[in-house]
Amino acid sequence: MTIARTPLSRAGRGTAVALVLASNAPDIDIVTLARGTASYLKWHRGPTHGPLGIIGLGLVSAALVWVGQRAYDRWSTTRDAGPLSTGEHNASFGMLVVLSIVGTLLHVAMDLPTQYGTRLLSPFDWRWFSIDLMPIVDVYLLAALVAGLLFGRQSPAARQRNAAIVLVLMTANYGLRAVEHSQALATVPQLFGPTLAAPCDPQSHDGWRPIDVWPRQRATTSSTGKRCLVELAAMPTFTSPFRWQIVAEVSNAYELRDVDLLDLRWREPDEDSEAPWRTTLRYPNIWTPTVTRAAETDLGQLFLGFSRFPAARSAVDPHGVTTVRWTDVRFASGGVALEQRRPGASFFTATVTVGTDGQILQERLGR
- Tell me: the pLDDT tens digits for 279-338? 778 899 999 999 999 999 999 999 999 999 999 999 999 999 999 999 999 986 543 343
Q: What's the Cα-to-Cα distance from 217 to each of 134, 231, 262, rounded to whole Å?
A: 26, 12, 36
- At 34 the pLDDT is 94
Side-chain half-sphere exposure of 307, counting CA atoms within 13 A: 25
Q: pLDDT band for 367, please (50, 70, 90 cuts).
A: low
Q: pLDDT band for 219, please (50, 70, 90 cuts).
A: low
- At 316 the pLDDT is 95
Burial 203-223 (b: 16+ CB within 10 A, else e): eeeebbeeebebeeeeeeebe
For the whole model, what pTM was predicted? 0.87
Tally of residues, the chain:
367
d(Cα 60, Cα 68) in Å, to the nearest integer? 12
Burial 302-316 (b: 16+ CB within 10 A, else e): bbbbbbbbbbbbbee
Percent of the residues in the chain that have a pLDDT greater than 90, as a whole number = 65
Q: Does position 271 have pLDDT exceeding 50, yes or no?
A: yes
Q: What's the Cα-to-Cα distance from 321 to each of 299, 318, 365, rounded to whole Å?
A: 18, 7, 19
Q: What is the pLDDT of residues 278-292, one digit of tens each?
A: 577 889 999 999 999
Q: pLDDT band for 356, please (50, 70, 90 cuts).
A: very high
CB proximity list for 283: less than 8 A, separation 6 or greater: 253, 254, 255, 256, 311, 313, 327, 329, 332, 338
Side-chain half-sphere exposure of 131, counting CA atoms within 13 A: 17
Q: What is the pLDDT of residues 245-269, one digit of tens each?
A: 999 999 999 999 999 999 877 666 5
3-class DSSP assignment, residue 315: strand
- At 237 the pLDDT is 92
Backbone angles phi, psi at 240, to 5 degrees: -160, 145
